[in-house]
Structure 1
Amino acid sequence: MQLDRYGVLEGKPDDTALDTMDEEVRLLGFTTLDAGLTETKLDQLSDLFDRAASTYRVRAAEQGLDLKSIAENDTIRLLPKEEPAFWEIVFNKNLHVLLNKLLGGYYILNQVNGLINRGNGSEYHQSKYHRDLPYQHFTSSRPLAINALFALDPFTLENGATRVIPASHHREAFPPGTLVSRNEKQVTVPRGTFIVLDCMVYHAGSSNRSKRDRRAINHVFTIPLIRQQLHLPSTLGEEVEFTESQRRTLGYGLEEYRSVDEWLASRAGMAS
């Protein structure tokens, strides 16, 4: 869509829908992206999510862990390890076309966690405004990390859809409360949609006032300079089959060498 204008010497032309989404994230800090999944597939993933949540809780209990007491009751860490079908969401084609635009050709998965925003107004640990690179107060000319929040259930005003402070990734400090209340936006989307955020934009969940839990999957992708929440190559091992491109995205090949001898041995292996 070409807009009338004058006195403008530079600008970016409209191109594909993904190009527009790329610009939305850069300018506003967020966009939405349809994952392209069928209702049948979403129903299957919904059942698998609930099964993963159950087995995750059981295993924690067997280890003597009270997830609620350590504020982990609403999270399934590394969800695809529990149910491998969720790797399909991690490596969603539409998402990675957009990630390539935002982060360049080399980025890694920092974390992938199932999230449960429980119904009936229960306390939700993501309901406070935050950045997904927490405790950081700086701006960057391009994204360093992207959050792709996958809506397994619809995100509605009633069930606690994500709130965003548009363009706050361009400001170092958290903005004044009056400004936030005037400008925050609650992002409602149908199930099967990614809410794609620059990780430096301030955002928060909301209280789920409905009677049903609202489920989502949080994916954070970063430039390789940023360490993973869990070291995925160690956690996943070599047994799971991934393509070379997928292995790179999961952080394989980014070993942290513990000695000069290890470094020299790795260089010798590359040369052979």
Structure 2
Amino acid sequence: MNKVSRYGVLQATDAEDVYDVLAEEIRLRGYTALDSGLSDSQLDEFSRLFDEAEASYSELAASKNFDLQSMKESDAIRLLPVISSKFWDLVFNEPLHQLLTRLLGQYYILNQVNGLINRGDKREYHQAQYHRDLPYQHFTSSRPLAINALFAVDDFTIENGATRVIPASHHREAFPSDEVVRRLETHVTVKRGTFVVLDCMLYHAGSTNYTTRDRRAINHVFTIPMLRQQFHMPSILGPSPEFSEEQKKILGYGLEEVRSLDQWFLSRMPKIR
């Protein structure tokens, strides 16, 4: 492919493959779209399992006397793969991790994985307010600290409440003025089976779902290891021999806080020998 014509350029970025290109898009504008590589039959299965997980999650909460509606938790399925284990396949999706390594390096962890439901018929949707996925933070960094991979279980359309973004807002500390938001915001429309991949400091929001059908998605937030997980997954999952050592690393195993000098000394001994 011919190089783009340029003048007076002394430095330029090279991209060796599509993941380098997508990573550069995220660095520049804050978001991109990534094909998961899943077949239609696989996507149909995830669609069916999502609805089953929603029903199981509601029953589980009710059995513990938790009212999801009053808690404003009725549009989320927290720790979705714990409810339905097939969703671990999305957590460890190979194209996604090819991209994550370009953005976060070789060591990153899963912070959260939640099913999200944007209800139809213009019902209220908590995620419809602009926010960062590291909320209450107003800083910029030269490299991403956290990445959100929002998996589209259904097509994202303007009619059913596709995610809105303010391009490049991850480079600014303060939220933009209202008029600038109105001028710059754009809808990210994608086909089902696509990851909408965001720098977590990018301001983004859901939109009103004007259709009669719910629009379903799954957010996966991955962070550098220094950031605390939303749920401490090693405590929830236990030994979990079904996961590989590399997968356990992504799930946060081995990052437990040292709670005494004795523990610290013991943790250092293998390195000394």
TM-score by length of 2: 0.97
Deviations 1:236-255 (A, max 9, x none): 11135111110000000001
Q: 1:264 to 1:13 in 2, by over 3 A?
A: closer
Partner residue of 2:234?
233
User: Is it true that 1:210 corresponds to 2:211 in the alignment?
Assistant: yes
TM-score by length of 1: 0.98
The residue type equivalent to 1:18 in the other structure is Y
8 A Cα contact 1:2 1:14, kept in partner: no
CA distance in 2, matches of 1:254, 1:7: 47
Partner residue of 2:136?
135
The residue type equivalent to 1:236 in the other structure is L
Deviations 1:187-213 (A, max 9, x none): 000000000000000000001110000
Partner residue of 1:180?
181
CA distance in 1, matches of 2:72, 2:271: 44
Q: 1:257 to 1:190 in 2, by over 3 A?
A: same
The residue type equivalent to 2:229 in the other structure is Q
Deviations 1:72-108 (A, max 9, x none): 1011111001111101100000000000000001000
Aligned partner of residue 12 in structure 1, secondary structure: coil
User: Is it true that 1:192 corresponds to 2:175 in the alignment?
Assistant: no
8 A Cα contact 1:163 1:186, kept in partner: yes
Partner residue of 1:243?
244
Partner residue of 1:119?
120
CA distance in 1, matches of 2:136, 2:17: 35
List alignment gaps of at least 5 residues for structure 1.
none
Partner residue of 2:106?
105
Partner residue of 1:154?
155
Deviations 1:46-92 (A, max 9, x none): 11111111011001001110001111101111100111110110000
Could you say what the CA RMSD is over the residues aligned between the two structures, in angstroms? 1.1
The residue type equivalent to 1:230 in the other structure is F
Q: 1:182 to 1:259 in 2, by over 3 A?
A: same
Aligned partner of residue 66 in structure 1, secondary structure: coil
CA distance in 1, matches of 2:15, 2:56: 47
CA distance in 1, matches of 2:31, 2:156: 15
What percentage of aligned pairs have identical amino acids?
62
The residue type equivalent to 1:179 in the other structure is V
Structure 1 stretch displaced more, 28-37 or 16-25:
16-25
